[in-house]
Amino acid sequence: MKNTLAVDLIQRQHGKPEDGICGVWCFDQTTKEVITLSADAIVIATGGVGQLWAKTTNPSVATGDGVAMAYRSGAAVKDMAFIQFHPTALAIENGRPFLITEALRGEGGVILDYEGLKSWQEECKHSFTKGIEPPSPDKFSFTLAFSDLGSMATRDIVARAIDQNLKQTGNKYAFLVTSHLDKDMLMNSFPNMQNHLDKYNLKLGYDDLPVSPAAHYIVGGLDVDDFGRPRTKDGQGIIEHLYAIGEVACTGMHGANRLASNSLLEAVVFADKAATHIINNPPKSVTHELPEWRADGLDILTEHSPIVNDLAMLKDTMSSEVGIVRNNGRLNRAARRIKLLEKEIDIIWKSSIPSRQIVELRNLIQVANLVIEDALLRTENRGLHFNTDLV
């Protein structure tokens, strides 16, 4: 259905998530009405939650809708604190961060800050005047203070290195340097990347690419079984007739630190498992009439006031307090801020005609609470979760 946004799932028996799901309430963005759709089974494949942060490689629709809807319907979540930040997103003003693949570092690209870049360039000039081979930029990288692998370290380590460097220096980005590499190799190996860089008059092998970390992938999500069925919050059962696949689900396949290509394999495997389970276990159709959305109060709803500042506050809080490097003080401050925001948005939600903006903001707040709650409960640093109070 075009221009239709899911609002909430409908339980087969209200208050009994273990009985399963039988439909969904959807907001028709054309008619501005909420419609009721029945379904024998529902597969959630709504993607990630990147829009919680100011900088993200995710599309604008990555607002955690599937996690939030299923959670409100009784589904359990797992490992919500594990958020992967890609270390090298192209840092361009007024543009969505573009992912600069690790393969570029695999070919020899090096991450430098302003100081390292200046020192390396001066050494190169000195070498040219003496007619000797210029030095490699590797030894000038601040990432060596975090790992002997330097720029070739894993995503989480490189992201933390850049994040700390930017906070200490006050700079907005670091640089991914490729000018020491073979120009023809770069053009032949990364044509799609160069096509995107052309928009900003940047060229591989010549220009130093401005990069900074950006929210990229949530490893956590709905706690599902081997068929992609979400477990109930009490851990005693599953939610029948509901399935979750892709980034919205937490299968355990990624552990605490996702390897990029694994998500494609996960999506294919669990999509097949879910489809096969539905085919082999056809759900019984619902015979009773489904309830209309807010059937008892539709006539008193009014259009809500602008909420753009509320969304900005949420993104700012998550970016500054629940980012790559965390501590308990910041996490608790974020929890207090978002709980207050949640109360304000809940008042608006209960009295307003729905819109895409309020539906998505409500879901983002729900997911933000889950991320912070899981982060505060963790007693060790592991993978993508790093709390300085646990060092």
Decide if 78 contacts 250 (C-beta within 8 A). Answer: yes
The C-alpha atoms of residue 336 and residue 339 are separated, in whole angstroms, by 5
DSSP summary character for residue 4: E
DSSP type of residue 50: G
Location of structure tokens 């209309």: 292
Run of H or E residues at 308: helix 308-321
Contact 326, 82 (CB under 8 A): no
- Quick one: tokens of 237? 């059962």
Q: Which two tokens stand for residue 2?
A: 């075009």
* Helix or strand (DSSP H, E) at 83: strand 83-90
Strands 83-90 and 77-78, how do they pair? Answer: unpaired
Burial string for 182-204 (b: 16+ CB within 10 Å, else e) reads eeeebeebbeebbeebeeeebbb
Q: What residues are annotated to the active site?
A: 155
